[in-house]
């Protein structure tokens, strides 16, 4: 096995990749702090719009990946991780925003008899809703109404408007010089 010092090609990192010439001095690297701290060679990742001429090295790394449709041609934006509070997810398609979501949870059934059917989990009986309104089953008696509420089966449902795993908030910065 060759040692790195004996290689004829430029220095490679521990994963076998050649150093990226666009990331000299680690410009564009994200730093995460447990407090609201931004070092002097970094910018807070708050989605700022910057003039390209003032931050050419950073622009060479991230380009206009985070720009909005109405941004002027001579500007670019840094990512907004602190204000939006989005989770960072590794992916080969870098920079894409993924909306939160859960699989659909649905359920329904009816009973048109006086006999009570036991229910459990997310289903619960809301009682009778009056006499039957037609068809052969209407002679059997009151309609029994059943509801479905996922929080009755697991208290994780209803704690958030989005999918929210246990988390700890941090402050994200990007190195620009």
The mean per-residue pLDDT over the stretch 32-39 comes to: 93
Among the listed ranges 17-31, 125-139, 144-158, which one has the minimum average pLDDT value? 125-139
Encode pLDDT of 78-110 as tens digits: 999 999 888 888 778 877 777 777 665 656 666
Q: What is the pLDDT of residue 116?
A: 58
- Is the overall model pTM greater than 0.85, yes or no? no
Q: Identify the CA nearest to 124 among candidates 103, 96, 144.
A: 144
Encode pLDDT of 121-142 as tens digits: 677 776 665 554 444 444 455 6
């Amino acid at each position: 096995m060759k040692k790195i010092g004996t290689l004829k090609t430029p220095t490679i990192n521990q994963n076998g990749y050649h150093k990226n010439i666009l990331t000299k001095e680690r410009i564009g690297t994200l730093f995460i702090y447990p407090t609201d701290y931004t070092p002097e060679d970094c910018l807070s990742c708050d989605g700022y719009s910057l003039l390209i001429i003032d931050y050419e090295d950073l622009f060479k790394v991230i380009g206009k990946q985070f720009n909005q449709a109405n941004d002027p041609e001579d500007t670019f934006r840094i990512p907004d991780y602190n204000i939006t509070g989005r989770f960072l997810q590794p992916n080969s398609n870098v920079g894409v925003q993924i909306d939160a979501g859960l699989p659909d949870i649905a359920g329904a059934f009816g009973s048109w008899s006086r006999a009570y059917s036991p229910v459990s989990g997310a289903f619960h009986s809301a009682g009778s809703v009056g006499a039957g309104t037609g068809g052969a089953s209407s002679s059997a008696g009151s309609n029994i109404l059943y509801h479905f509420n996922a929080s009755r089966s697991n208290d994780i449902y209803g704690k958030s408007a989005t999918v929210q795993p246990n988390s700890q908030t941090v402050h994200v910065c990007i190195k620009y010089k």
